[in-house]
Amino acid sequence: MVSDRISRPSILVVDDEEQIRRALRTILEARGFTVMTTASAQGALDRLLEVTPDLIVLDVMLPDMSGVELCDRIRSWLEVPILMLSVRSGECDKITALESGADDYLTKPFSAGELVARVKALLRRARGAPAHPPVLELDGLVIDLAARRVTRDGLAVQLTPIEFGILSLLVHNSDRVVTWDQIRDEVWGPECIVDAATLRVHVSNLRKKIEPHPAVPRYVLTEAGVGLRFSPR
């Protein structure tokens, strides 16, 4: 639906493993993407001098340079979304990847569905398209971002502007990690200094208002040390 409006977005896959390049090419080409592949950081830099893809999928471990360093270099002149791949799921790796400028992070092994969902989410975000239809319905919870209205089991939920700001940012980035820094920048503004404890209080209040279980979050999930992730399932 959304991707129909985009004419064959191009994706550069940087991974030194032949099997992963092959799998990604098969999965992505089958869904209408144009796929270019390269096995090294130098190959990626060379290719980026010729063409600018719509998205880059980057392995964290490359033979000639770490994916994090490559990401850092690319970020110095390119704004395209970058999706990092890694075999490690440690929180440090996630933080390093996201701090180096990657937009999202996917741990191997991943399913084709997961990969495609992330790729599409990143492309939509890059083009400014909404992640979800204006009204999101999850069991009894209805989130109408356009009307700035949230209801649970038919009853209106009163959210403060900050809580709504956080929810809106999370919903726009459904299934994606949203870092604490991003929340600060987008909800309070880049100049504001907000400490982690304050942020956590707002998130805790938001959860109490929208989550089906007041103490165990199902939608607003914690990504340890990194930030939050909205899971609309």
231 near other proteins, rule: CB under 8 A:
yes
**Least distance in Å: CB of 216 to other proteins?**
4
Q: b vs e for 178-197, b when ≥16 Cβ sit within 10 Å of the residue's Cβ? A: bbbebbbebbbeeeeeeeee
Q: List the x/- string, 208-227, binding to other proteins by CB under 8 A.
A: x----xxxxxx--xx-xx--
91 near other proteins, rule: CB under 8 A:
yes
**Least distance in Å: CB of 183 to other proteins?**
16
Q: Which is nearer to other proteins, 109 or 154 (CB)?
A: 109
Strands in the chain per DSSP E = 10-14, 34-38, 55-59, 82-86, 104-107, 135-138, 141-144, 149-152, 155-156, 177-179, 220-223, 227-230
Which is it for the CA torsion 201, 207, 208, 209, positive or negative?
positive
147 near other proteins, rule: CB under 8 A:
no
**Least distance in Å: CB of 229 to other proteins?**
9
204 near other proteins, rule: CB under 8 A:
yes
**Least distance in Å: CB of 180 to other proteins?**
12
Q: Which is nearer to other proteins, 82 or 85 (CB)?
A: 85
Return the SS3 of 190: coil
Strands in 9-124 per DSSP E = 10-14, 34-38, 55-59, 82-86, 104-107
Number of residues counted as binding other proteins (CB under 8 A): 20
CB contact at 8 A, 138 and 151: no
**Least distance in Å: CB of 89 to other proteins?**
8
> Could you please report the per-residue DSSP string of 43-60?
HHHHHHHH---SEEEEES
The single residue among 111, 146, 147, 191 that binds other proteins, judged by CB under 8 A, is 111
> Which chain residues interact with other proteins by CB under 8 A?
89-92, 109, 111, 204, 208, 213-218, 221-222, 224-225, 231, 233
